[in-house]
Amino acid sequence: MISTTVRRAAAAAATTALAGLLMAGCGSEKSGGPAVPEGWQTLDAQQVSVAYPKGFKALAEDRLPGSVTAEADLTEDGKTVARIIAQVEFMKTSDLDMAVAGAETQYTFGGTAKGKEDITVSGARRATRIDHEFKSSGADGSPPRDTDMTAVDVVGMDKKDKPWIVRVTAPKGKLSQDDLDEILKSIKVTG
């Protein structure tokens, strides 16, 4: 007959082995999240990161506009035709719904809302995707005035309940749906 001590030791060994197998399959938080497609680079905006496709170039820190934390642009003939920005603490709130409303106000005049939905972002408790369409102003090297543009914002909170935003803007049809999907899938909260 097997003693209680031997049974407990065997159960503990089996539990430890099972936990080790499960942890090996899950990966660490550092390596967790979606894989970045081959040839793509990653923007690191302190609390959030996002990948960008070939052809885009990250802006040097001293060239970043306003309060943008990280940015990658696609340029053609000296004009920016598509842009990916990441911004942390883009407004003062600890409420996701308020942060989403703040992001939406940027399109109140001249923009058309195309949809809003909660999505899953690696490392975030909650995040919301907002789709808009608008006309280019033609200013600051952007596409010619009245070019039909799309904007996709993903808004969430970091681990300290501070809001972040990733915004992808491009002329309609400039980014393939596959590239847009990969950009959005690559967003990861890191802080």
Prediction pTM value: 0.79
Q: Measured on CA atoms in the order 67, 72, 77, 81, is the torsion positive or negative? A: negative
Q: How confident is the model at residue 59 (pLDDT cuts 50, 70, 90)?
A: very high
pLDDT tens per residue across span 61-96: 989 988 899 999 999 888 889 999 999 888 888 888
* Six token digits for residue 114: 């195309």
**Is 115 exposed, middle or buried (CB count within 10 Å of its CB: 0-12, 13-18, 19+)?**
exposed
- Distance CA(96)–CA(87), nearest Å, equals 15
More confident residue, 103 or 30: 103
For the beta carbon of residue 94, count every other beta carbon within 10 angstroms.
Answer: 11
* Six token digits for residue 46: 């302190």
Q: What is the pLDDT of residue 32?
A: 57
- Distance CA(135)–CA(116), nearest Å, equals 20
pLDDT tens per residue across span 136-147: 888 877 888 899
Q: How confident is the model at residue 11 (pLDDT cuts 50, 70, 90)?
A: very low
Q: What element of type H or E holds 141?
A: none
